[in-house]
Amino acid sequence: MLRGSVPRAAAWMYAQGRAILWPMGRCAAAATLCIGLQACGAASAADTVELNRLAARCAVCHSAAAQATSPLLEGQPEAYFIAQMRAFREGRRTNPPMVAFANELSDEDVSALAGYYAAREPTQLDPVAEPAQIDAGRSKAAGLRCAQCHGPALQGSRSGAARLAGQKPRYTAWSLHMMRSGTRTHGPSRDPLLSDLSNDDIDALAAWFASVPPR
């Protein structure tokens, strides 16, 4: 599991060096602080290896070339990522592999992965829909006021709204079908606005979101 903040640990070592060892001499305190910082550096390197290992597991399903119904994670806001992992842990989302993975992770692992993916540049998908369908999706999204929560460029928000821009269309369509039926919530509860979507509306929205540049 990932460890705590290296800067915080370094600050602690510095404080300990001043409070305990400084009376013994500056050289002794400096040497102890140096050893502590080396330990922090080793911990940081181990954390990086562990984070990369976890991200490699995610990429099996969540890369651009992987399953069409698994979302892209790059560029997703940290709060959204953390909220979804919590939903899998608590049974509010029920995909069995994700439930197992979420329960395997510590809170520190989840926070580290959230930061990792939030900082990564999303991949621009190649357009696969007809212009008329994309225009219909743009119009429908305006009527639903998607940008009000997901941001004017649909990049998501710090409060936990997902990045819709550049998302895989089949994943978006699948999610909207789940939200329309009430199987998956939209926000804290079922959204009545989504209950009235037709299949064509859902496909158009998915096409529009996929066409929006992800950055």
Cα angle 70, 205, 212 (rounded to 5 degrees) comes to 80
Q: Is the pTM of this model over 0.75?
A: yes
DSSP structural state of residue 122: P
**What average pLDDT does range 67-86 have in this prediction?**
94
Statement: residue 15 has pLDDT above 60: no
For 44-55, the pLDDT digits (tens) are: 666 899 999 999
Band of residue 193 on the pLDDT scale cut at 50, 70, 90: confident
Q: How confident is the prediction for the chain on average, in pLDDT?
A: 83
Domain ranges, ordered by start, for the chain: 1-62, 125-211
Cα angle 35, 40, 44 (rounded to 5 degrees) comes to 145
Beta-bridged to residue 186, according to DSSP, are: 189
CATH superfamily of 125-211: Cytochrome c-like domain (1.10.760.10)
Residue 28, pLDDT score: 52
Count other C-beta atoms under 10 Å from residue 22's C-beta.
Answer: 13
For 94-138, the pLDDT digits (tens) are: 999 999 999 999 999 999 999 999 999 988 888 789 999 999 999
